[in-house]
Structure 1
Amino acid sequence: MTTAEDVLDLFKVTSPTEVAFSKWTGDATKVDVVPHVMAHRVSFVYDLTPEDVERVCNATKRDRRNHALGDVKRKEAESVTDIVDWHPAFAFIHALHYAIESLREIPTWLEFSRFIRDDPKANAMLWNPACQMARTVSDAPDGPSWRVAWDSVRWRLGNAYYSFLREMYVVSNLRASGLDIRVHPLADALFKVDFWCGRTICSLFVKNAKFHKDNEGRKISPRQLMRDAAPKFHFHDIQLDKATEWGRVHLPSTEQLREAAERLRVAVQ
């Protein structure tokens, strides 16, 4: 199990991370976010096998209902700037982690969509803000139609979901190789740490993407936040080429996973 306190003990050890945490806890827009994230415990994620994640990744290809991007046209979706740059109070990763720990399984897109609609807490975290954002944008003077606004929201949420599946795939594979890989939404959203092993911080991103991550982008890197830590952290990047196949979760190759596992084993020795 990994708790928020575990994250703070490990990462809130430099001036930039202390400042980031102080700003976050003092932000009036995060009044509901902070207690939720601080109480979140990661446990079920560590029971996931690579096969579990592969099953869900394959569902997006086999079943159109589980296609996270649906029939959304990318150019049209990304033309709605307000939504492309939209960050709700709860980061997407908060809702995704909440879903997986609540459901005790990694949800398909259809299951995740139902969860954020039907679960009161998830609804307040993501579904209701998403609906409000689409309505606000479409109701604005010269705003797009409701369909275009909602498609833009769908594009934003769908890409966040795919990014989460990709991260869970890497985490489950590296843990299956015997490495004690850890994750937590506090580390991810606030300190930009996708996952870690000992004192090695790992970043997973797609080359040339608008955002390396779905929620806050990568305007600040974990290297910037924790370069002055003592003892020092090590950093490892897993970079994927741009996806070329529509509707398929873009995953690292077996060779990339093997290389990451070998480098992490050396780092933790």
Structure 2
Amino acid sequence: MEQMQSLPAYQDFRRFADGSPLGREMLGIPAREKVSATVAEGCPLPLARDAMRWRVGNAYYSFLREIYTVVELRSQGVDLRVHPLADALFRVDAWVGSKALSLRVGNENFRKGRDEGRKVPTEKLLADVYPPLEFATLELSPATKFGRVHLPAAHHLESAAERLRT
């Protein structure tokens, strides 16, 4: 996105991952290596490729969802800040002042409104931060259509904007 100075279509993203030195280093080569390692462990090649394609597609859709949410909330007067490290290390998708926003899709296997599951909640990761943070979560219901980005509804964004402004 930084190189294009615009939001990439999925095809642009794939071309970057396969066709540029930086894209190959960041995603193309590691993805191929993981597929090869999975096949070496006994997984059929088509299944390993499909699984990687699924994970990469989910990551791309998550990126689009985060960008959309930040743009929409900023358009509603919320001066959100973002940084990839805040997301990667602390699961904070954006913040304003001392309020941290986490955007997620509900999933029984990962958490869905609970403090249990595979992922440690942001609130636990940052529990000892001083001064303390307030946490706002924007949780979407699971997606129902394959091949389409799953975005928060207008009323969810309005509610989140109100929580972040107060």
Deviation at 1:175, TM superposition (A): 1.0
Aligned-pair CA distance for 1:211: 4.4
1:210 CA drift (Å)? 4.0
Letter in 1 for 2:158: R
What residue in structure 2 maps to residue 87 of structure 1?
Answer: none
Counterpart in the other structure of 1:223:
123
Q: Which amino acid aligns with 1:257?
A: L
**Equivalent residue for 2:70?**
171
- C-alpha displacement of 1:191: 1.7
Q: Distance in 2 between matches of 1:210 and 1:158?
A: 19
* 1:70-121, Cα deviation, whole Å (9 max, x unpaired): xxxxxxxxxxxxxxxxxxxxxxxxxxxxxx1122111111000001112212
Kept in 2: contact 1:134–1:153 (CA 8 A): yes
Q: Do 1:192 and 1:218's aligned partners in 2 also have CA atoms closer than 8 Å?
A: no
Structure 1 residues 218 and 139, CA, compared in 2 at 3 Å: closer, same or farther? closer
Stretches of structure 1 that go unaligned for 5 or more consecutive residues are 1-99
TM superposition score normalised by structure 2: 0.90
Given the two structures, how large is their TM-score scaled by the length of structure 1? Answer: 0.57
1:255 equivalent among 152, 155, 162: 155
Q: 1:168 to 1:101 in 2, by over 3 A?
A: same
For 1:128, the aligned partner's letter is I
Which residue does 1:243 correspond to in 2? 143
Report the secondary structure of 2:136's partner residue.
strand
Q: Which runs of 5+ in 2 are unaligned?
A: 112-116
Deviation at 1:228, TM superposition (A): 2.5
Tell me if 1:131 matches 2:32.
Answer: yes
Q: Deviations over 1:30-85 (max 9, x none)?
A: xxxxxxxxxxxxxxxxxxxxxxxxxxxxxxxxxxxxxxxxxxxxxxxxxxxxxxxx
Structure 1 166/195 Cα, relative in aligned 2: closer, same or farther at 3 Å? same
Report the secondary structure of 1:144's partner residue. coil
Q: Distance between the aligned counterparts of 1:136 and 1:200, measured in 2? A: 41
Q: CA deviation at 1:218?
A: 6.1
Q: How does 1:74-153 map to 2 (within 5 A)?
A: 100-140=1-41, 143-153=42-52
Q: Counterpart of 2:94?
A: 195
Q: Distance in 1 between matches of 2:63 and 2:18?
A: 19
Q: Which runs of 4+ in 1 moved over 6 A?
A: none
Aligned amino acid, residue 112 of structure 1: F
Identical amino acids, percent of aligned pairs: 46
Contact 2:109–2:118 (CA under 8 A) maintained in structure 1 = no
Shift of 1:185: 0.9
